Amino acid sequence: MDSDQITGLYGKVSGLAAPVSAHVSEEQLPEVRIYTVTAEWIQTDLVRNSRLRYAQQWTLIADSNNHKSIRTVLPPGPCSPLSGELLSELSPICGLRAVVRETSSQQLLEIWDRHGLRKSLNLSALNIHGRVYDDTQFGCLSWSECESKLLFVAERSRSSSAETRSGESASRKDRSVYCEDWGEALTSKSVPVLCVVDLHHGEVQVLQGVPQDVSPGQALWAPGSQAVFFVGWYQEPFRLGLKFCSNRRSALFRLSLDGRCECISGDNLSVSCPRLSPDGSTLIYLQGRVFGPHNQCLSVQQLDLSSGKTSTMVDVVSRPQTGEFAGVYEALPSRCWSADGQKVVFSSAVRNWKDVFMVDRGTKKVSSLSDTADVSDLSKVYGSWKLLTVQRDLMVICCSSPNLPPTLRVGFLPSADESVTWRTLQQPVTTFDYLWTVLDVTPTSDEDNQRYPGLDFGAILVKPSRLFCETGTPVVVFVHGGPHSQFPAEWNSTTAGLVELGFAVLMVNYRGSTGFGQDSILSLIGQIGSQDVKDVQRAVMASLQSDKTLDPKRLAVIGGSHGGFLSCHLVGQYPDSYRACAARNPVINAATLLGTSDIVDWRYTSAGFQFSYDNIPNAETLAAMLLKSPITHAAQIKAPVLLMLGGKDRRVSPHQGLELYKVLKSRGSPVRYKQAALKPKMVAQTLGLLPFHFSLQVVMVSGGRTLSVQGGHSGRLLPQHRAVAEPTPLSKSF
């Protein structure tokens, strides 16, 4: 295939939209009940090198006397672009829509009703605070009960007369003084403040009383709207990166509007995602350990606001049994309560799948709500169920699988001993005739973890439905980063693009991945570069043994971050197995990364050492980190290597990839190094499309323009104007 064909193919699979959020409103008519579902979607546009956001609306008609039975789903309205919108929120009573919009470097707060724009405030011109936070870590936009006030989080103003915290006023005046931030993807977030807008008077107030040693975020109104709840992340003695890290010391606080603040959660814990019950009696939140694995199995805590007592609703799962709930590993949706306040709904990883669950507050029983389709026919099964919202007991779900792009479905919460009747609102514009299967892999006895014995892991194999080559299907081994994350059996445009080109793709969930229990996560501590590498190779061998249509002589490996770390390990430790490697932002030398990463705690923990803020590197720790690094196997690498590096990556410095580049270059090994500057707004999980084909050129090509990394650590691949010479082949036939 030539570059134009590959460009068209990539545009086909990457341009499919996916829903990311939803809202439900309700209207009671004499004979029917009307539900309006508004979903926000994202879609990649290669022409503009950006991701577009748009909204679409559906009308559901239910019986008045049996409102949980959907009679009719009307065709959706047209897609409406959400140009410049950073945050938006509908008020629960009057249906007002609050929007924080960015236009011409100005941030505006707009209030819309059924008659149009009702009010607009230029937040930038008021100069009460800095930029409004629109990230998922700190950001929020919350209506008060009376719907006359809005709560949000913004950067503290550096130029206004707003009160500054003690000891920092001098450094604010001297712009050359270093200002800490919260790391990768949060580089503009340093000193957040809680802000309240009085819509009647058009005034903005920065709330006082937040403890000086915490950064507030994820705020919401307390019952009565005379106080707010918020999560405070401790920032002393210095800030550590927050993105993808659920192990940061933090607490839940209650702050009254007159400035009185109290901590309402335990000490030396990590908390997030506070969610208030519909009757205002109970606050639930996620809780985890401080330090250790950067991502972990979390518990769900419930705080009785009248008594002040906290109890566990969902506990940490150490080692789930086959087919059982495996624990909570991701954030709660902003709306997760049932209408009666007795149930909580959420999504979470389960081995190689993602499912939606409901927990009963009384019995604390956790139940799966997904379809009970026959899993023997994977062509009709959704491998991933992600809850977008539940409002008025109507759940809105995004479903997908490796051969089925994202689909929007709805269903009402079931009564006791009932199952959910799911309705599909939006089918994908196309489906793909791929074959996929889930593999359960057991380590050999010599690869078993002595501290956590008996653990297994999994993988997902996706391949074309027909052979493209008589010698068998070449395989691309796709390794996820983290390492404490997961490849669920969901739609993945990278995987789809490779399968369209004729490759099989093996996505491996090695021990340490989420969805397999806390023991699996803990088993990787101190074992990176060994246990995880062997697991991936074991999964490769298992797939080749179980599927004889795969070609064992044509293997390639790709991955980003820790996936790039493992990719480079694999071509170094198993040099005769792999014909090519593509690594995005890989960790190459853990010892030299120690002083440059925004998550220095993980650098110690991953190597098996205890972290303390006052740690000083010594010969023992540096030697151990070096021995666990791919650079120690660089001399054995035979396969051509493509390194794709974010120029301003705060988590894994581009100098990491440069170390490997220089070693390979000096030894005459085929290597290509591509680096791009950071564009903070352009962050995506996808690695992009790697067009190997059978005569492999390890290079990104797109319609006469090279593909390169944009963004920081979790960068994306997008076409850019050619700034380098025509790429040359890096390998022989693949």
Residues 679, 550 share a domain:
yes
Residue 172 has pLDDT above 60, yes or no: no
In a domain, 643, yes or no: yes
Between 66 and 544, the higher pLDDT residue = 544
Which of the four pLDDT bands, split at 50, 70 and 90, describes residue 701? very low
Ramachandran angles phi, psi of 595, nearest 5°: -90, 0
Per-residue pLDDT tens over the stretch 1-21: 788 888 888 888 999 999 999
The tens digit of pLDDT for each residue in 464-512 reads 998 888 889 999 999 999 999 999 999 999 999 999 999 999 999 999 9
- Tell me, yes or no, whether 524 lies in a domain: yes
Write out the DSSP string of 496-560: HHHHHTT-EEEEEE-TT-TTS-HHHHHHTTT-TTTHHHHHHHHHHHHHHHH-TTEEEEEEEEEEE
Map residue 11 onto helix, strand or coil: helix
Q: Is a pLDDT exceeding 60 seen at residue 326?
A: yes
Instruction: Specify the pLDDT at position 568.
Output: 98
Asked whether residue 667 is domain-assigned, the answer is yes
**Digit-coded pLDDT (tens) for 79-98:** 999 989 999 999 999 999 99
Reported as type and span, the H/E element at residue 638 is none
Tokens matching residue 128: 């009460």
**pLDDT at position 422:** 94
DSSP β-bridge partners for residue 423: 410
Q: Identify the pLDDT of residue 471.
A: 86
CATH at residue 590: 3.40.50.1820
Asked if residue 410 belongs to a domain, the reply is no
Cα separation, 165 vs 172, whole angstroms: 10
Split at pLDDT 50, 70, 90, the class of 234 is very high
Residue 196, strand partner residues: 151, 205
Q: Higher confidence at residue 569 or residue 733?
A: 569
Give 394's pLDDT tier (boundaries 50, 70, 90).
Answer: very high
pTM of the predicted protein model: 0.91
Confidence (pLDDT) at 693 = 31
295 is a domain residue: yes
| Tokens, residue 647 | 């120029």
pLDDT at 378: 60
Average pLDDT over residues 119-138: 97
- Cα separation, 129 vs 127, whole angstroms: 6
Q: Check residue 712 and give its pLDDT.
A: 60
Identify residue 678 by its one-letter amino acid code: L
Please compute the mean of the pLDDT values over residues 126-146 and round it to a whole number: 97
In order, the DSSP letters of 398-452 are EEEETTEEEEEEEEEPP-TT-----EEEE--S----EEEEEEEE---GGGS-SSS
Question: Are residues 647 and 691 in contact, defined by beta-carbon separation less than 8 angstroms?
Answer: no
Measured CA to CA, the distance from residue 474 to residue 468 in angstroms comes to 9
Per the structure block, which two tokens stand in for 443? 């380590």
Q: Can you give the CATH number for the domain in which 140 is found? A: 2.130.10.10
What average pLDDT does the segment 51-59 reach? 96
Angle at alpha carbon of residue 66, lines to 60 and 68, rounded to 5°: 50
Q: What is the pLDDT of residue 722?
A: 28
Band (544; pLDDT cuts 50, 70, 90) = very high
Q: Is 612 helix (H, G, I), strand (E, B) or coil?
A: coil
Structure confidence at residue 677 (pLDDT): 54
- Which SS3 state, helix, strand or coil, does residue 54 take? strand
- Dihedral sign for Cα atoms in the order 577, 582, 586, 590: positive
Does residue 402 belong to any structural domain of this protein? no
Distances (CA, A) of 130 to 162, 193, 195, 198, 469: 11, 9, 11, 18, 58
Strand 580-584 to 550-560 pairing: parallel
Q: What is the mean pLDDT of residues 386-404?
A: 96
Q: Quote the pLDDT of residue 622.
A: 97
DSSP strand pairing (250-256 vs 384-391):
unpaired
Same domain, 308 and 439: no
Task: Count other C-beta atoms under 10 Å from residue 624's C-beta.
Answer: 17
Give the pLDDT score at 418. 87
Whether the predicted pLDDT of 704 surpasses 70? no
Least confident of 173-177, 255-259, 672-676: 173-177
24, two tokens: 């439900």
Are 574 and 540 in contact by the 8 Å Cβ rule? The answer is no
Say whether both 503 and 652 belong to one domain: yes
pLDDT score for 46: 84
The token pair that represents 391 in the structure block:
């409002």
Domain contains 103:
no
Work out the mean pLDDT of the chain and round it to a whole number: 89
pLDDT > 70 in the chain, percent: 89
State both tokens at 505. Answer: 């793709």
Helix, strand, coil in percent for the chain, rounding step 5: 15, 35, 50
pLDDT of residue 685: 28
Residue 156 C-alpha from the chain's centroid? 27
Q: What is the mean pLDDT of residues 397-402?
A: 96
The reply to whether 661 and 520 lie within a common domain is yes
- 25-34, 157-166, 224-233, 352-361 — which is least confidently predicted? 157-166
pLDDT at position 707 is: 33
Q: Quick one: pLDDT band at residue 379, thresholds 50, 70, 90?
A: low
Question: Greater confidence, 19 or 690?
Answer: 19
Strands 394-401, 404-412: parallel, antiparallel or unpaired by DSSP?
A: antiparallel
Q: Is residue 661 part of a domain?
A: yes
Encode 157-186: b = buried (16+ Cβ within 10 Å), e = exposed: beeeebebeeeeeeebeeeeeeeebbbbbb
Least confident of 263-277, 391-405, 716-730: 716-730
Domain assignment of residue 494, given as a range: 434-699
Q: What is the pLDDT of residues 411-448, one digit of tens each?
A: 999 988 789 999 999 888 888 999 999 999 999 999 99
For 625-654, how does the pLDDT look when each residue is reduced to its tens digit (9 = 90+)?
999 999 999 999 999 999 999 999 999 999
Number of Cβ within a 10 Å radius of residue 283: 23
Averaged pLDDT, 216-223: 98
Burial 441-453 (b: 16+ CB within 10 A, else e): bebeeeebbeebe
Position 589 confidence tier, pLDDT thresholds 50, 70, 90: very high
Residue tagged 């319609």 (tokens)? 703
Mean pLDDT, range 373-388, rounded to an integer: 75
The answer to whether 284 and 344 have CB atoms below 8 angstroms apart is yes
**3-state DSSP assignment of residue 247:** coil
pLDDT surpasses 60 at 455: yes
Higher pLDDT, 321 or 346: 346
Q: What per-residue confidence (pLDDT) applies to 377?
A: 56
Per-residue pLDDT tens digits for 679-689: 333 222 223 33
According to the model, what pLDDT value does residue 165 have? 46
Same domain, 446 and 308: no
Average pLDDT value for residue range 118-136? 96
Q: Specify the number of domains making up the chain.
A: 2
Quick check: 706 pLDDT over 70?
no
Tokens of 545: 């043994």
- The tokens for 227 are 């106080």
Q: How would residue 173 be classed by pLDDT, with cut points 50, 70 and 90? A: low
- Which of 486, 490, 233, 520 is CA-nearest to residue 385? 490
